[in-house]
A and B are shown apart, each in its own frame.
Chain A
């Protein structure tokens, strides 16, 4: 490739200055770790907001305790708390930002950007991402967007407070009292969002290009690890679903800054301002459509990286191939495609007619088919395996039933008839938190424990791992299962005081709803306790991350798990440019326990030693992937 030698990327053989190596790095591994650490910090912050909210739900008349309130300044408390108690306004603000942070700043960057960045190029045998500088720009746009959103907590207006979905007209109207709209939290949210979308677009272009262009010799489509397939599909989801939300974000920004009425209907009235000084004729529903056009694919953007991690960890720790690799690949492609046409199931209650509701109901049920194929394949993969219960495997194993609960509780919500009752209740909250928290986050924890040795050269501590895992598993279930119960009892998802206003006090009352609220309201305390417990038991993990980096058990080979995929062929940790040899691929990704091979794993990059001449690795896509 003589022409490519003109490549003017810096020659990285010499030592880079600190800021270039660790801060403004173009190395996909450094960027991946940057993403991971930033996302982790955002996750903790989002979790903290949630604990304050849960306090308010369980103890609406008690000031938030010192161990939560020490972080706030006196001025902040005076502005946003009512004698130390959480106000409805503050609760809304925290709720909106909890959702935003967890989805846009936490889980997506952790799953897609951190793991994707670190692992994908290694697994396909690439020296780096296809566009390293774009990769860096992507990270910094993400960080800037996230910080801008979070900084608004310190403004007079406070941060955004209209839900993470930011529905107009509420979101178009909130913070109107701020004269300079650019200094309003609600506006900052939109500016932050536009930056985050920019970051995602840069990232997804990069991922897809890298996967398509930089695969190693012989790494044909059906030899790609499932992880890479998941990243490819995720990349496409972000690429095509985010722009309509960017359009919506810009339109809402116009509504706020220029006073336009994209999403503001005619005749809007507020107590403070009377009939608003706007032209009207806009459509709040339009915003919802454009939001959920992203919003639903975004669910799969959250989910696929976690499934991807689990799908790597299971074969490695059961020492047998991933069951149904090909159906899984086709499922994930189908899932990605279908996820674009299901979005309005979030909007059954907006007055859509029966025909279109039926359409979206049908597509929603359809999409459960590939989801079930994925999960079932992974469960069957366990069958007959000689399972090593390593730390990653324990997390991955817990992912399966937890995600199962999350997925199955979604089915009633897919039917518009059942959704009439369950919409906007805690049932919905319980459902998607089961998907995201004990589901996706467990999958990602599994990933951390799995790839940590590759990143640092040391294992994470097992004892601390168990101390992290078991209490987390218990607390997660104590936290989220009661939500399903409460939801069916009619608890609305936005009650900042846990529903106390709805309690029917007499036992003979005719207010059945008030009685079910009274019967289930004490669960609030259980859930709040579980949330605090969950927070405490993340400490072992944080300690583990740091302690193991310095004192963890050292790995003895570059492939400590005896895995088959290409990332384990690199030095540990991989240097700039990743590989010390020109990787070539000879077989599929999960060749474990082959009877014709002496070891119980047969890495993709290992040249066959048998007398039969190996199939020449070729660059041509090869549908028939099984080795001769």
Chain B
């Protein structure tokens, strides 16, 4: 059997099958990206925070645009070479196309990586409006010394054991309570055991006992007696925490729960049989349960099945001796008070939550959200900004570099305002309320002296990152430049995240669309690569067939380019 029109076109449509197929597929791709762009539009137009305009370094995106356009040209050349039966040229052009795809993905990776390592913190604290300002930068590293969080200054030690990014929450744990109905705490137990090492003993606080099922039904003893017997013992008090131990207790608990529920269900079912069959009650079950006769019966039931219950405890508590300082990611802890934290899986850690500041080098301060909120509430934006924790705190050296940097920014803004006024323009919100990383570098170089900044700005001698500044290729370069250092106490940390989808809807849509586009690049490259490396056989048997295939693959490739042509301005320049 053969399928017609694989190579040659059908007369009435003028098309071969795969060409119809690819164009249909592209049409669906249009609506796929249509949906994503709808999302972008919707999220941007109705964002309740200032949309980060031109937030990405342009150069990687620009190079990637060139790379994709270039590959679009080479892929049509590869197709043309096949049409002219020039196998060698086809190989060369196709290879260049694939190299372009690889280069594109490498650059994408560099961009992504920079974002994954860029911390941002929304500040909590005094201030008349909801937005209290945002600090961006790189998190420094810390260790625990003398029971306290201590910054590690030596960058070479960043990857040593016991050194962790200084954005974690520290809990001096003396007691751990696990919920047995969740078989999902494995991840946390592993992490806790790893951090405990051999120096800490984590042991079961009291015996975990579940009465034996058979003895309960046949032995004629009551539960108190059964619990005291040896058969009831699942785990001794003093057993060390392990995943196996937890699993054992979990199994006993779950088994006991099944047993109990089974009996209760039987009693309930029997009572329904009784009231329907013997009492002939044909009311709705809703009405039946309101009746005294039913309530009486259920009371008697409870008396009967009560003694038959195994009633295994659903929680187990472990003691930690000596108290262990646990270093946990904030995302794992939805809620914490001073005395205890609760992990996502309801595991409770009792103890003391230690001071857990976020320590970071600051490469940007952003008050646009504060300004937006202030304006909405009729407050002078600068008034709201002035009282922010960012500008009012004192650091361990008794100063506040961020305040100084802000003062420099004000000096620069003064110059900028004057300059723009001459042209009849006004500074943008970005100018007014955001100190970007290149400004930060410039101010640091002028010793954070506002007057020097004003002067330098007038003479146009400020350091300004240009498009082609490779030091800032993927954003603020913390290896190259020094940035002000800040310690944000946990109570002043509002929402915090790296510049990942979590941080805001802009990064969410940025990662989603470019990620999906990246998958298209990889998919396209795989298909084109297949033609390059395994196409010879097809070429030898029927070169036109391969040319058709490459044309179809090329159409997809152009579409990928087409999407990027929109993505570049939308995500990088707007």
Binding site for B on A (CB under 8 A): 1, 3-7, 9, 12, 58-63, 65, 74-75, 77-79, 81, 83-85, 126-128, 130-132, 134, 156, 176-180, 183, 201, 204-206, 208-209, 212-214, 239-248, 250-251, 254, 258-262, 266, 272-274, 276-283, 286, 289-290, 293, 497-498, 500, 503, 521-522, 524-525, 576-577, 619-621
List B residues at the A interface (Cβ < 8 Å): 1-8, 10-13, 15, 17-18, 20-21, 24-25, 27-29, 31-36, 38-39, 42-43, 46-49, 181-185, 187-188, 254-255, 257-262, 264-265, 268-269, 272, 284-286, 288-289, 330-332, 334-335, 344-346, 495, 497, 500-505, 507-509, 511-512, 516, 541-542, 544-545
Count: A-B pairs, CB below 8 Å: 273
Which of B11, B29, B286, B330 counts the most chain A CB atoms within 10 A? Answer: B286
Give me 30 A-to-B residue pairs in the complex whose CB atoms sit less than 8 angstroms apart, sorted by A's number: A3-B7, A7-B2, A7-B3, A61-B289, A62-B268, A74-B261, A75-B254, A77-B261, A78-B260, A83-B268, A128-B3, A177-B184, A180-B184, A208-B20, A209-B21, A213-B13, A243-B32, A246-B32, A247-B32, A248-B39, A254-B508, A258-B502, A259-B501, A261-B505, A279-B504, A279-B508, A281-B47, A281-B504, A497-B286, A500-B286
Residue of A nearest to B512 (CB): A254
Residue among B13, B48, B501 with the highest chain A CB neighbour number at 10 A: B501
Query: In the complex, which of the residues A177, A260, A577 contacts B346, with contact meaning CB atoms closer than 8 Å?
Result: A177
Look across to chain A and name the residue whose beta carbon is closest to the beta carbon of B516.
A250
Q: How many Å from the CB of B121 to the closest CB on chain A?
A: 12
Of B10, B21, B332, which is in contact with the most chain A CB atoms at under 10 Å from its CB?
A: B21
Contact: B43 with A290, CB < 8 Å? no
Would A243 and B35 count as touching, CB distance under 8 A? yes
* B505 and A282 contacting across the interface, CB-CB below 8 Å: yes
Q: Which of B48, B257, B272, B497 interacts with A266 by CB under 8 Å?
A: B48
Task: Verify A84–B269 contact, CB threshold 8 A.
Answer: yes
What are the nearest 8 A-B pairs in CB distance? A244-B35, A84-B265, A247-B35, A577-B1, A243-B32, A260-B501, A260-B508, A500-B286
Contact at A273–B47, with CB atoms within 8 Å?
no
**Is there an interface contact between B31 and A176, defined as CB atoms closer than 8 Å?**
no
User: Quick check: A179 and B258 within 8 Å, CB to CB?
Assistant: no
Is B285 touching A62 in the complex (CB atoms < 8 A)? yes
Which among B15, B182, B508 is the interface contact of A261 at CB below 8 angstroms?
A: B508
How distant is A281 from chain B, measured CB to nearest CB, in Å? 5
Task: Judge whether A84 and B8 touch: CB under 8 Å.
Answer: no
Q: Please give me the residue from chain A that is nearest to B179 by CB atom.
A: A177
Output the least CB separation between B272 and chain A (Å).
5
Cα(A7)–Cα(B1), bound, Å:
9
Complex-state Cα separation, A251 to B24, whole angstroms: 24
Q: How far is the CB of B559 from chain A (nearest CB, A)?
A: 13
B43 CB contact (under 8 Å) in A60, A262, A525: A262
Question: A286-B39, A500-B286 are contacts. A274–B335 as well, Cβ < 8 Å?
Answer: yes
Which of A260, A276, A500 has the most CB atoms of chain B within a 10 A radius of its CB? A260
Closest B residue by C-beta to A620: B12
Cβ-defined partner of A251 (8 Å) among B39, B182, B284, B331: B39
Chain B residues near A84: list those with CB within 8 A.
Answer: 261, 264-265, 268-269
Report whether B4 and A1 are in contact in the complex, using a CB–CB cutoff of 8 Å: yes
Which A residues lie within 8 Å of B3 (CB)? 4, 7, 9, 126-128, 130, 132, 214
Contact B501 A258 (CB under 8 A): yes
16 further A-B contacts with Cβ under 8 Å, apart from A3-B8, A84-B261, A209-B17, are A60-B286, A78-B257, A130-B20, A130-B21, A177-B345, A180-B187, A201-B28, A213-B13, A248-B35, A259-B331, A259-B497, A260-B507, A261-B505, A279-B502, A286-B43, A289-B42
Asked if residues B27 and A240 are in contact (CB atoms below 8 Å), the reply is yes
Q: Which residues of B contact A130 (CB under 8 A)?
A: 3, 5, 17, 20-21
Partner of B505 from the list A180, A245, A259, A260 (CB cut-off 8 Å) is: A260
| B272/A213 in contact, CB under 8 A | no
In the complex, what residues of B have CB within 8 A of residue A58's CB?
284-285
Among candidates A246, A272, A619, residue contacting B10 with C-beta atoms closer than 8 Å = A619
Which B residue sits closest to A525, measured CB to CB? B284
CB of B93, distance to nearest CB on chain A (Å): 24
Chain B nearest Cβ from A622, distance in angstroms: 9
Q: Please give the distance in Å from A462's CB to the nearest CB on chain B.
A: 36
B505→A127 contact, CB < 8 A: no
CA distance A6 to B537 in the complex (A): 11
Expressed in whole angstroms, the Cα–Cα distance for A262 and B20 within the complex equals 35
Task: Determine how close the nearest CB of chain B comes to the CB of A154; give it in whole angstroms.
Answer: 12
Min distance, Cβ B78 to any Cβ of chain A, angstroms: 21
Determine if A279 and B505 form an interchain contact, defined as CB atoms under 8 angstroms apart.
yes
Q: A212 to B272: give the CA distance in the assembly, Å.
A: 62
Asked if residues A12 and B1 are in contact (CB atoms below 8 Å), the reply is: yes
Q: Report if A78-B258 is in contact (Cβ < 8 Å); known contacts: A7-B3, A250-B516.
A: yes
Residues of chain B within 8 A (CB-CB) of A277 are 330-331, 334, 495
Residues in chain B near residue A276, CB distance under 8 A: 334
Least distance between A54 CB and chain B CB atoms (Å): 13
A177 contact set on B, CB distance < 8 A: 182, 184, 344-346
Q: With A205-B24, A250-B516 as given contacts, are A61 and B286 in contact (CB-CB < 8 Å)?
A: yes
A63-B4 contact in complex given A272-B334, A281-B43, C-beta closer than 8 Å: no
Nearest residue (CB) in B for A5 is B2
Closest CB in chain A relative to B256 CB, distance in Å: 9
Residues of A within 8 A of B289 (CB): 61
**Of B33, B39, B330, B541, the contact of A262 (CB 8 Å cutoff):** B39
Give A196 Cβ to nearest chain B Cβ, in Å: 14
Which residues from chain B contact A248 at a C-beta distance below 8 Å?
35, 39
In the assembled complex, the Cα of A274 lies from the Cα of B351 at a distance in Å of: 21
B12 touching A61 by the CB < 8 A rule?
no
Of the candidates B33, B183, B516, which one forms a contact with A156 in the assembled complex, judged by CB atoms under 8 Å apart? B183
CA distance A241 to B24 in the complex (A): 13
Q: Given A262-B505, A282-B43, are A242 and B286 neighbors across the interface (CB < 8 Å)?
A: no
Contact, CB under 8 Å: B505 / A74: no
Q: Are A273 and B335 in contact (CB under 8 A)?
A: yes
Q: Is the CB of B285 within 8 A of A59?
A: yes
CB distance from B480 to the nearest CB of A (A): 29
- CA–CA, A577 and B344, complex, Å: 57
Contacting residues, chain B, for A503 (C-beta < 8 A): 286
A258 and B503 within 8 A (CB):
no
Measured between beta carbons, the chain A residues less than 8 angstroms from B48 are: 266, 280-281
Contact A9 B345 (CB under 8 A): no
Which of B5, B25, B43, B255 is within 8 Å of A283, CB to CB?
B43
Nearest-neighbour CB distance to chain A for B72, whole angstroms, equals 23
Tell whether, in the assembled complex, residue B10 and residue A213 are in contact, meaning their CB atoms are under 8 Å apart.
Answer: yes
When distances are taken between beta carbons in the complex, the residues of chain A under 8 Å from B254 are 75, 78
Smallest Cβ-Cβ distance to A27: which chain B residue: B1
A274 contacts which of B36, B334, B504, B508 (Cβ < 8 Å)? B334
Smallest distance from the beta carbon of B290 to chain A beta carbons, Å? 8
Whether A156 contacts B502 by the Cβ 8 Å rule is no
B5 touches A213 (CB 8 A): yes
Would you give the shortest CB distance from A202 to chain B, in whole angstroms? 9
B42 and A286: CB pair below 8 A? yes
Q: Which A residues lie within 8 Å of B183 (CB)? A: 156
Whether B503 lies near A205 (C-beta < 8 A) is no
Q: Which residues of B contact A60 (CB under 8 A)?
A: 285-286
Give the nearest-CB partner of A221 in chain B.
B12
Task: Collect the chain A residues with CB atoms within 8 Å of residue B284's CB.
Answer: 58, 500, 521-522, 524-525
A467 to B104, CA, bound (A): 64
C-alpha gap A498/B287 in the complex (Å) = 12
Contacts of B504 in A (CB 8 A): 261, 279, 281
What CA separation (Å) do A214 and B288 show in the bound complex? Answer: 65
Contacting residue for B497 out of A4, A205, A279, CB 8 A: A279
B-chain residues with CB within 8 Å of residue A212 when the two chains form the complex: 13, 20
Contact A83 B261 (CB under 8 A): yes
A274 neighbours in B (Cβ, 8 Å): 334-335
Residues of A within 8 A of B264 (CB): 83-84
A560 to B204, CA, bound (A): 76
Measured between beta carbons, the chain B residues less than 8 angstroms from A209 are 17, 20-21, 24
